[in-house]
Amino acid sequence: MVYQKSFMICAISTFPFKSFLKKRFLAAAVLLLASFPLFARDIEILVEDADLELPLEGAVIRSYDGRQYICDESGKAIVSVPDDRQVVIQASCPGYENGRLIIAVGTDKYVLSLRLSGIMEGSELIIEAARPGSNETKTGRSVAVSEREIAQTGEIGIVEDVMSTIKLLPGVGYTGLMNAQPSIRGGDPEDMRASLDGFYVFYPYFSGGAYSVFDPRMVQSAQLTHGVFSSRYGHSVSGLLEITSRNPSPTETEFELGMSTSSANFNLSLPLAGKGGVLLMGRVTYFDPVNALIKQAAKSIEALEQANALRTAPYIRSGIITGNYRFSHDLELHATGLWGMDGIGILFENSSEEEEYSSNSIFNLDWNNYQGFFTSGLSWNPRTDKLLKFTAGLGFRTAEMNSTNHDVVLGRAFTKTPENAWYYDTLSSRFGSPYNVDTFRVTKNTENIFNTQGRLDYDWHLGRGFLVSVGIQEMFIKTTMESEQLGFSEKPLSGLSQGEQETIFAYFNLGPSDPLRDYLKESLMIRFPVNSNNNAENNLLISSGYSLAEYRTPDNRLGIEFGLRIDHYYLSGNGIGLSSQPALNPRLNIDFNVFKNSGFIQSLDISAGTGLFSSMSNNIFITEKGNNIDAIKPNRSWTSVLGAGFELSSGFSFNIESYYKYLFDRMYMPIYTGLGSTDTRLRFDGEGRAWGIDFILKKQQSRFLDGWLSYSFNWTKYRDPDGTDKEDWYFPAYHRFHNLNLVLNIKPTPRINIYTRFGLASGAQISKLSGNGPVSYPVLMYDPDNPDSSQFIEKFFWLSELDGQNRATPSLQLDIKFSIYGKENSGKKTRSEVYVALENVLGMLYTSKGNTGFNQYTGEIDTGIMAGSYDIPVPMPSFGFKYSY
C-alpha cells in the first residue's frame, strides 16, 4: 500500500543504502528449505451405470487434490494419484447419485458404479464440488495449481512461498528472488489482488513485499485469474489470485512437522465427529544463528559483507486456523483466521577515504508489520438446484517504519574546466574549498488499517444447461496514515518555478537583463532540503453487485457466460466526501469444443472473452483536503482474450492465449518539489496499453516425469498526461518482454524426486549512457531558511537518456532440489522426507548486468561482483527434513 511506496522512496534517496536494497536479505543466503512433493501414478477408472452396466460419458471424477477428470465416450478417465498412500476420489453424473471410491496402493484399474437417483441430483455437484467458476483451469480465464504442484515448486527458498509457484505460470512477469509482487500481463504489481477463502487481502505480503503471507503448507489449491474472469469477482484490473486453504480431515487426526535452518512449521488437524474438522498451522523463522554464521563468512567473502548491517535479523511469525462443519447434507459452515508479523533492523555504516575526499554514512532502519484477519462463510442448499452462500470477515494491519540516514562528505577542491570556468572564477573564492557536505535524512511512517467485508451469493440451476447467479458485496476500509520525511531534492534550476528561479538569481546578484541568467538555467543544479508531512484519516466504502447467466449445451460443446458487475466507491475523512460514478463492468465469455478424440488430440477447445474491470488504487488513502480534487475514479481496464486449449495423449496439455488490454482512468501521483515545499497531486487520467501472448505445455503428474514449460511475451506502455517527467508513452520500470520457465520433476525411483527449474527472462529497461564516463557539474546546496550557509560543490553525472529498447542482459535462474522419502510403516500412517536444494545455481557464473554505478562525489566507477548487477550473484543452499502422521 502507500506505506510501502514511501519506504521505497526513502530507500532510493539514501545513496549508500541503494546497493544494499539489492541485497537486503542476502545475509540470509545460506538457509534451509522444505518441500513436500508426492510421487504419483496413473490409474484407469471406468464409471458405469450400476444397473445397465453402460459407460457414463461425461461423468466427472474429482480427485483428492481437487483436480477434475472428464470420462470419455467409453466412460473411462486416467487419474493421477499418489503411489505411496491410499486416497478417496468421488464421481458424479447428472441424474445419478454421487459415488466414492478408495484407491489403494498397487492397483491400477477400477470400476465405479453409479445408481440412478429418484430425482435430479444436480445439487450434489454443488455440495460436493467447488462453486461454479472456482479453482479450475479455464482457457481464456484462469490457470490453477493443485496442492501437490504447490508443494513441488513453492516449498523452496529462504522462505517457502506460494508465489514461488505463481511466478512460474504464463502471463506472470519476472521478478527474481525475494520479490513476491510480479506484474500480471503488463499490469502494475499493485493491480493484482489476492483472496483467501473469499476474503480479499489487500496487503498479502511480508518483508516489504519480498514474500507473500501464503505458506504453501496451508494451501489446498491456488488459481490465478488473469483473463476475462467472471462478474462474481472484482477489485482487480489485471489479475486475481484466489487461495483456498487446506481442508482438515473429518475422520483422522493428522500431524506434520517440518524444520530447516531458517524456519519451523507445524500442522495439526483434528476431526469433528465425522462432520468436519479444525486445522492449526504455524510458521516461525529464526535467522539469528544463520546471520551469525554469515557474518563470520563475510570476513572472507566480499558479497556477504552486507550481512554486518543486520542489527535485528529479518523474522516472520505466522499462524492460521481453518475449519469446517457440515450440519446436514445441505448446510455447511467454514471459517479461516490468519495472523502474522514480520520485521527487520538495520544499522549500515560505510566510510571511505581517498586523496582530497572522504565520506562517512550511517543508515538506521527499524521495520515492524502486524496483520491478520478472520472470515467465515455459510453455504446452504435450500433446494437441490439452488445454492445460497453468505461470507463475512474483518481484518487489520499495523505497520511502522523509522529510518535515519546521516551522510558526511568532505570534498576535494573544485576543479576548473572549460565547462565550469564561470563558476570557478566567480564563485570559488566566495564559497571556498574543500567543501563539507553534512546531510541528515529522516523518515517516519505509521499505517493502521481496518477493513470489514460481507457478501451474499445466490446460484440457481434452471435446468437444461442454464444457470443464473446474483450477488452483492459491501467492503469498508478505515485507514490512518502518518508520514514524516526530511530529505533533499536535486533538480536543475530550470525545473523550479519562476518565483523560485528569481530567488536564486537574487542570491547571485543577477539583474533581470543579466545574460548569465540563461546560462545558469541550462547548467546549474540546485539541491535543497525537502520536508514532507502527511496525516490522513480516510474511510472507503465499496459497494458492489453482479448478475450473470451461464449456458452450456448437454454435450458441453458450447458454453456462454454473460454478466454485469457494478462497483461504486465513496471516500470520506479529513473534511472531504468524494464519490465516484458507478463503474459498469459487462463481461462476456464464449467456450467452444471443436472436437474430441481425433488422433493424438483428445480435445480441442477455443475461448474468446471481453470485458471491463475496475479497482481503486491504494494510493487513494493519502487523500487530504489540500489535494483539491472534487471526485475520485477507480482504475479501469478493457480486456479481450482469445485462447485455445489442447488435451493431448499421454497426459500432455497445451494452452495458448493472446490478449489486449487498454487501461484508462488510471490513478498516478506527480510530485512537485520546490524550495521549501512539496506538492502531491492526485490524477485520474492515466492511460496504458498492453498486449501479448503466453502459453503453457504441461505434463500431468505421472510416475517418472512431469512438469511444465511456460512462456510469456508482453508489450506494455503507460502515459501520464500530467506527469512531471513522463508525459509521453513509456515502458514501466518492471516491464520485460520475455519470460520462460521450465519445471521438471524427475523420479528415478519411487523414493527419489529431483526437482529442477530453469528460468530465462529478457532484461529490465535501463538508461542509455553516452560519453566516456561521469562528468562533473556544479551544484548549489541552497538552504532557503539560511542562504548564507549555502555551499557550492562539485558532483558527477553520466549523460544518459531513457531508451525503451536499451535493456540489461537477460536473467537466468536454475534451482535444483533433491528429495529422498523414507519407508512407511506397516499401517502407512507416517511419511518422512529429507532434502537438499540449491537455488540460483548459476549465480557465481552469471548474473544480469546493467549500467555500472559510480560515486557521485568523485566520479569513480564501481567495481566488484555487485557492479551493475540486477540479480543476486550468490547461490542459496538449503537442507532439511519433514515428518507427518
Query: pLDDT tens-digit profile of 743-772?
Result: 999 999 988 999 999 999 999 888 888 888
Say if CB 318 and CB 286 are below 8 A apart: no
3 state DSSP class of 847: coil
Q: Going edge to edge, which strands form the sheet with 109-114?
A: 76-82, 40-49, 109-114
Q: Are 127 and 142 in contact (CB under 8 A)?
A: no
| DSSP for residue 37 | -
Q: Residue 38: what pLDDT? A: 35
The Cα 3–Cα 618 span in angstroms is 10
Residue 200 has pLDDT above 50, yes or no: yes
539 vs 150: CA distance, rounded Å: 37
Measured CA to CA, the distance from residue 539 to residue 477 in angstroms comes to: 6
- Which residues are CB-contacts of 292 (< 8 A; sequence separation ≥ 6)? none
The rounded distance, in Å, linking the Cα atoms of 841 and 815 is 6
Beta-bridged to residue 831, according to DSSP, are: 884
Contact between residue 439 and residue 389 where contact means Cβ atoms under 8 Å apart: no
CA distance 257 to 882: 6
**Residue 388: strand, helix, or coil:** strand
Residue 511 makes CB contacts below 8 A (sequence gap 6+) with none
Between residues 431 and 299, the one the model is more confident about = 299
Mean pLDDT within 476-481: 94
Q: Which residue has the cell 512537485?
A: 672
pLDDT tens track for 799-808: 888 888 889 9
Query: Degrees (nearest 5) of the Cα angle 203, 5, 176?
Result: 75
- Orientation of helix 2-12 relative to helix 15-22, angle to 10°: 120
Radius of gyration of the chain (CA): 30
Beta bridge partners of 443: 403, 485
DSSP 8-state symbol, 53: -
Is the distance from CB of 82 to CB of 36 less than 8 angstroms?
Answer: no
Mean pLDDT over the full length of the chain: 83
Hey, what's the cell of 219? 494451501
pLDDT at 426 over 70: no
By DSSP bridging, strand 811-821 and strand 752-761 are antiparallel
pLDDT at 28: 35
Q: How far apart are CA 145 and CA 142, in angstroms?
A: 10
Partners of 860 in beta bridges: none
As beta bridge partners, residue 207 has: none
Of the ranges 287-296, 404-413, 659-668, which is most confident?
659-668
Whether 492 contacts 779, CB under 8 Å: no
pLDDT band at 556 (very low <50, low <70, confident <90, very high): confident
In Å, how far are 507, 529, 544, 800 from 780, measured between CA atoms? 11, 12, 53, 22
pLDDT at 439: 73
Cell of 740: 520462460
Q: How many CB atoms lie within 10 A of CB 501?
A: 18
Q: Is the pLDDT of residue 79 over 90?
A: no
For residue 854, give the DSSP letter: B
Residue 770: alpha-carbon gap to chain centroid: 35
The strand pair at 775-781 and 99-103 is best described as unpaired
Decide which of 391 and 858 is more confident: 391
Residues, the chain? 885
In the DSSP assignment, the letter for residue 620 is G
Q: So what's the pLDDT on residue 77? A: 86
Least confident of 99-108, 475-484, 545-554, 590-599: 99-108
Judging by beta carbons within 10 Å of its beta carbon (0-12, 13-18, 19+), is residue 654 exposed, middle or buried?
A: middle
CB atoms within 10 A of CB 261: 19
Burial grade of 748 (CB within 10 A; 0-12, 13-18, 19 or more): exposed
Q: Which of 467, 472, 469 is nearest to 455 (CA)?
A: 472
Amino acid at 723: G
What pLDDT does residue 529 have? Answer: 87
CA angle 169–341–290, rounded 5-degree value = 80
String of DSSP letters for 460-507 = EEEETTEEEEEEEEEEEEEEEEEEEEEEEEEEEGGGS-HHHHHHHHHH
C-alpha span between 652 and 639 (Å, rounded): 29
Q: What's the confidence (pLDDT) of residue 334?
A: 93
HEC assignment per residue over 252-293: CCEEEEEEECCEEEEEEEEECCCCEEEEEEEEEECCHHHHHH
Grid cell listed for 138 = 479455464
Tell me the C-alpha to C-alpha distance, in Å, between residue 557 and each of 140, 594, 604, 652: 16, 7, 10, 21
For residue 276, the one-letter residue type is: G
- The b-or-e profile of 681-691 (16+ CB within 10 A means b, else e) is ebbbebebbbb
477-494: average pLDDT? 89
Using left for φ > 0, alpha for ψ between -120 and 50, and beta otherwise, residue 727 falls in: alpha
- Band of pLDDT at residue 552, cut at 50, 70 and 90: very high
Residue 829: is its pLDDT beyond 80?
no
Average pLDDT score over residue span 826-844: 81
How many CA atoms, within 13 angstroms, populate the side-chain half-sphere of residue 799? 6
Spell out a b/e string for 449-477, using b for 16 or more CB atoms within 10 Å of the CB, else e: bebebebebbbebeeebebebbbebebeb
Most trustworthy range by pLDDT among 102-111, 517-526, 649-658, 698-707:
649-658
Distance of alpha carbon 562 from alpha carbon 560, whole angstroms: 7
- Cβ atoms of 267 and 247 closer than 8 Å: no
Looking at per-residue pLDDT, the higher value among 444 and 116 belongs to 444
pLDDT digits (tens, 9 = 90+) for 353-407: 776 667 788 888 899 999 999 999 999 989 888 999 999 999 999 999 999 888 7
Residue-level pLDDT at 698: 93
DSSP per-residue string spanning 293-328: HHHHHTTT-GGGGGGGGEEEEEEEEEEEEEEEEEEE
| pLDDT-based confidence at residue 228 (cuts at 50, 70, 90) | very high
In this prediction, residue 66 carries a pLDDT of 64
The three cell numbers locating residue 205:
505480503
Q: How many CB atoms lie within 10 A of CB 50?
A: 14
pLDDT at site 427: 57
Distance CA 84, CA 697 (A): 27
Pick from 164-178, 776-790, 819-833 the range whose average pLDDT is largest: 164-178
Confidence grade of residue 222 (pLDDT, cut at 50, 70, 90): very high
Q: Using a CB cutoff of 8 Å and minimum separation of 24, what contacts does 577-582 make?
A: 578/623, 578/629, 578/630, 578/631, 578/632, 579/631, 579/632, 580/631, 580/632, 580/633, 580/634, 581/631, 581/633
pLDDT, one tens digit per residue, over 298-342 is 776 665 666 677 788 889 999 999 999 999 888 999 999 999 999
Distance of alpha carbon 361 from the chain centroid:
33
